[in-house]
Structure 1
Amino acid sequence: MTPQVFTQTITVREEHIDVRNHVNNLVYLQWCVDVAEQHWTQNATPKHLEDYVWFVLKHEIEYKMEALLGEQLLIKTWVHSNAGVRSERRYEIYNQQTDKLLVRAKTLWCLLKADTKKPTLIPEEICNLFIDE
């Protein structure tokens, strides 16, 4: 079973740039959260979206190279593993023109029931949403 890789392209804009004239570190984190949410929203059924929400437990980011104004970036994300109530999602962000890796990250997510906000075991049907066969 191969994890489904979800991708998104971003152009670095002025609001992404910090005083050092490159993408601010927090912007990378926001992009990771955004692309994870887009992957979930794209694959989940309306019932899944009604019944469940994801909560971040931990982020880890390794910054390899900077990104600059106007550059095209490719963000990749996939679910690396699921165990109990937790799911580990991985990310890579590349400069699309040079194919150089800029950021490697991972997030530990917890699945919650939307109505109670209590952790719940990740159903197999949700695990299967993120696998390419």
Structure 2
Amino acid sequence: MNWLRPGPFVVDIDVQPADIDGLGHVNNTVYVGWLERCAWGHSQSLGLSLDEYRSLDRAMAVLRHEIDYIASAHEGERLQMGTWIVDTDGRLKMTRQFQLIRPADGLTLLRAQTTFVCIELSSGRPKRMPELFLERYGKAFAESCPA
């Protein structure tokens, strides 16, 4: 695969009939769902599930999505989405990069970047990342962006 960076966390995606819009390709809103699925899968692989979020009264919430739609996906295609943590301020914000590839021809269909902010679940207000977030997400960042 021609990944943008080494060592992505990857999820496999099978394009379903419900993913297709009136123009005959995957609807834009479906891609956003795939970004979320990939990000959650990566967080869970780092040992940060909803249970950990709730017990710490913290979560990483989307602040901004930037999506470049490069080519369309169609029903029945098998795709792979990779993600990396590419930036963190070590306090409130973290940025993920995503890439969606169609393995059959190696074509990149989408590139995206999402900025997250740490919030306190009980209030919805921005709060510093707890030590566990800094440790787990920080390790993934270091692996994605070696010095």
Could you state the TM-score of these two structures normalised by the residue count of structure 2? 0.79
- d(CA) in 2 for partners of 1:127, 1:34: 17
Q: Does the residue aligned with 1:27 lie in a helix, a strand or coil? A: helix
Name the counterpart of 2:33: 30
- d(CA) in 1 for partners of 2:18, 2:112: 22
Residue segments in structure 1 that go unaligned for 5+ positions in a row:
none
1:127 paired residue among 113, 137, 145: 137
- Aligned pairs for 1:88-127 (under 5 A) are 88-122=95-129, 123=131, 124-127=134-137
Say if 1:111 and 1:81 are closer, same or farther in 2 by CA, change over 3 A: same
- d(CA) in 2 for partners of 1:5, 1:113: 28
Matched-pair contact (CA < 8 Å) for 1:43–1:129: no
**Identical positions, percent:** 26
Matched-pair contact (CA < 8 Å) for 1:3–1:79: no
- d(CA) in 2 for partners of 1:59, 1:107: 5
Count of aligned residue pairs for this structure pair: 132
Further displaced range: 81-90 or 111-120:
111-120
Q: Does the residue aligned with 1:21 lie in a helix, a strand or coil? A: coil
Residue segments in structure 2 that go unaligned for 5+ positions in a row:
none
Q: Deviations over 1:8-65 (max 9, x none)?
A: 0111110000001110111011100111012112212567432121111010100000
Please tell me the root mean square deviation across aligned C-alpha atoms, in Å: 2.2
Higher percent of residues as strand: 1
- d(CA) in 2 for partners of 1:78, 1:128: 11
